[in-house]
Amino acid sequence: MDNRELTIHSWDLRQDILDIVMAGGGGHIGGDMSVLAPLLLLYKRHLCVTPETVDDPNRDRFVLSKGHSMEAYYAVLCDCGFLELEDVKARFNKLGSPYIGHPHNVLPGIEMNSGSLGHGLPICVGMALAGKMDKRDYRVYTIMGDGELAEGSVWEAAMAASKFGLDNLCAVIDRNRLQISGSTEEVMPEDPLDRRWAAFGWNVLSVDGTSIDALDVAFETAKTVKGRPTVIVSNSVKGYGSPVMENKAGWHHKVPTAAEYEQIKADFLRGKEAAQHVQ
Amino acid sequence: MSNKIPNRQAICETLMEHAKNDRDIVALCSDSRGSASMTPFFDAFPEQSVEVGIAEQDLVGIAAGLASCGKKPYAFSPASFLSTRSYEQCKVDVAYSNTNVKLIGISGGVSYGALGMSHHSAQDIAAMAAIPNMRVYLPSDRHQTKKLMEALLQDQKGAYIRVGRNTVEDVYTEENCPFEMNRATVLREGTDVLLVACGETVRPALEAAELLAGEGISCTVLDMYCVKPLDVETLLKYASSAKLIVTVEEHAPTGGLGSMVAQQIGEHCPRFVKNLSLPDAPVITGTSREVFNYYGLTAGGIAKSIKELLK
């Protein structure tokens, strides 16, 4: 699947996410939509792991640090054959279901539990360190939310990754500029984000987080950087794909009404048609 | 005192013995290698050592990441910080994600006597034991510490181990240190009182039993180093015939060994349980020994409490 096909396909997954949220009556749809592009691209092209290699010591590792974007993760894991979409939709959020609102490592393909923010990067530092110790060439990826960066543990790990020269580690920040209470810059300012990470010794790549092409270049570039970790600032849009949700903090974890569902579904179809017309 | 080796040093020595042949053993410190007696390990095995700086959350998170890739990490930090500052990482990254991280709480209890409440860990048993899938161990001397570490090296699950900073008198000898994983050690059998202790209170509890024996009071003494999973079977075996049950711990009165023992006794063979512990208040300033003495956690203090209770 090339970048154009992947972009078109991403609209199908947006619909899957919407259906998962509706089926479970919950979720974090705003962040699901902003994180989908880098998440899908990772699994489809850059992350070397398949349902057959989930226990291979040489597999690439991924931790969804912004664990509340779980519906997007379910859609991607289903699309890549780790899980069954119909089973996820049938049991998401239900009593006793393994399909809960955050990553749960009883499920195939999920390395570590998350949910509480600021945990993913320290864990990935440990995974990347283990790779260096064992002289394995796997890579380690995590995706964090931008609101998550207020957690001090993120910066503890940022220092450590730099100290240990973890060039096998690539962090993605889903920079949608909104968190549950409103603008990240009002809640706890993060700009100049690029300079902050650079000051911690990271290679920083800032790209359009809605563009599969731009993200693809960034992931490829990160693989070539030696001696330091890379952070990709994925400048995204919360609720991306439908004007009903886009750039609205209230859609952090809102469940669409029936009317909103129909509107969002129509918007996704239009998005897909537009992507199909791009040559 | 005849013994010169603190329990923390016994941990380092045991890990060094095994690290030579097992490159997956990794030690992590948070600017705590001196306090942990781990400097010899870091010097001998630099490629199996990780220094994260004063960052306890990072310490445990990194350890969990290492464990998820097959490493056997031992994360050292003062018990006061490890059990509170990084509590969420212990809960989520170790227990919930089920990673093989051994959390070593050094300078536990009131080891840092005069440094104040910020440095005391009088809550760590309660905190750690409340986490599902987290085991809690408090070895009583250097010999038992070595046996415990050797057992932990063989398993693949997370655990919290608390040791003190100071050298303590031996309870066992190198030749005579009976140890069975997750089973209390019966140090003495008696008919009147059941004394249950863990960690650094085991030795004074044993000495108290000896004092009481001279006065015609016969005690069973259990070294309940395995606070979680608590050895309920051995506890109930002796509790059912005892006139009095007394627990002794270097911990706050809530949620520690005394609470857990009382819970089991209340459920299975109801009778009076007295918990000798630190108070539910900031601990008085002093050396560890002075603090123990002040709160009656010495042989004389324990014996006195028991005699009063038996009146």
Stretch B27-50: mean pLDDT: 96
Our CA dihedral for A64, A67, A68, A70, rounded to 10 degrees, sits at 60
From A236's Cα to the closest Cα of chain B, the distance in A is: 28
pLDDT of residue B4: 84
Interface touch A125/B68, C-beta < 8 Å? no
Could you report the per-residue pLDDT of B133-169, keeping only the tens digit for each?
999 999 999 999 999 999 999 999 999 999 999 999 9
Name which of B279, B284, B240, B282 is nearest B256 in CA terms.
Answer: B279
A124: nearest CA partner in chain B: B65
**Quick one: tokens of A13?**
């997954």
A131 CB within 8 Å of a chain B CB = yes
> Which chain A residues contact residue B62 at CB under 8 A?
122-123, 125-126, 129, 157, 160
Chain B residues within 8 A of A157 when measuring between CB atoms? 58, 61-62
Q: How crowded is residue B267: how many other Cβ atoms within 10 Å of its Cβ? A: 10
Residue of B30, B59, B62, B101 to mutate, testing the A interface (most A Cβ within 10 Å of its Cβ): B62
Which among A57, A116, A152 is the nearest to B92, CB-wise?
A116
- Note whether A56 contacts B: Cβ–Cβ < 8 A: no
Cα–Cα distances in Å, from B120 out to A134, A264, B109?
38, 55, 5
- Percent of all residues in chain B with a pLDDT value above 70, rounded to a whole number: 100
Instruction: Report the residue from A61, A119, A130 with minimal CB separation from B61.
Output: A119
CB B245 within 8 A of CB B268: no
Nearest to B24 by CA among A242, A213, A130, A137: A130
Q: What is the mean pLDDT of residues B89-113?
A: 97
Cross-strand pairs, B124? none
Model pLDDT, residue A174: 98
pLDDT(A279) > 90: no
Q: Which of A113, A116, A126 faces B63 most closely, judged by CB atoms? A: A126
pLDDT at B15: 98
- Put simply, the answer to whether A118 touches B57 (Cβ < 8 Å) is yes
Arithmetic mean of pLDDT, B104-110:
96
Q: Are B47 and A132 spatial neighbours (Cβ–Cβ below 8 Å)? A: no
Q: pLDDT at position B3, please? A: 82
d(CA B155, CA A38): 38
Q: How far is B112 from chain A (nearest CA, A)?
A: 26
ipTM of the complex: 0.97
Rg (CA), chain A: 18
| Distance (Å, whole) CA B108 – CA B82 | 10
Interchain contact A153–B (C-beta under 8 A): yes
Q: How many CB pairs under 8 A join A and B?
A: 104
Tell me whether residues A113 and B96 touch, CB distance under 8 A: yes
Q: What angle do CA A18, A23, A26 make, to 5 degrees?
A: 75
The predicted-structure confidence for A93-139, as pLDDT tens digits, reads as follows 999 999 999 999 999 999 999 999 999 999 999 999 999 999 999 99
Query: Which range (B12-16, B94-98, B164-168, B250-254) has the least confidence?
Result: B164-168
Residue-wise pLDDT tens digits, B47-74: 999 999 999 999 999 999 999 999 999 9
Number of Cβ atoms within 10 Å of the Cβ of A257: 9
A141 CB neighbours in chain B (<8 A) are none
Interface of B with A (CB under 8 A): 23, 26, 47-48, 50, 52-53, 55, 57-58, 60-71, 73, 88-89, 92-93, 96-99
pLDDT band at B270 (very low <50, low <70, confident <90, very high): very high
Placement of tokens 């002794």 in the chain: B248
Residue B140 and residue B64: Cα distance in Å, rounded? Answer: 27
Selecting from A128, A133, A153 the residue whose C-beta is nearest the C-beta of B61 gives A153
pLDDT level of residue B113 (50, 70, 90 thresholds): confident
Cβ neighbours of residue A169 closer than 8 Å, sequence gap 6 or more: A124, A125, A128, A139, A140, A141, A142, A161, A229, A230
State the Cα–Cα distance between residues B255 and B126, nearest whole angstrom: 4
Whether the per-residue pLDDT at B1 is higher than 80: the answer is: no
d(CA B149, CA B153): 6
DSSP E strands in chain B: the ranges are 25-29, 49-51, 72-78, 102-106, 135-137, 159-162, 185-188, 193-197, 219-223, 226-228, 244-248, 273-276
Which amino acid does the sequence have at B215? E
pTM beyond 0.95, yes or no: yes
Phi and psi for A95 in degrees, rounded to 5?
-55, 125
Answer for the pair A195, A253: CB distance below 8 angstroms, yes or no: no
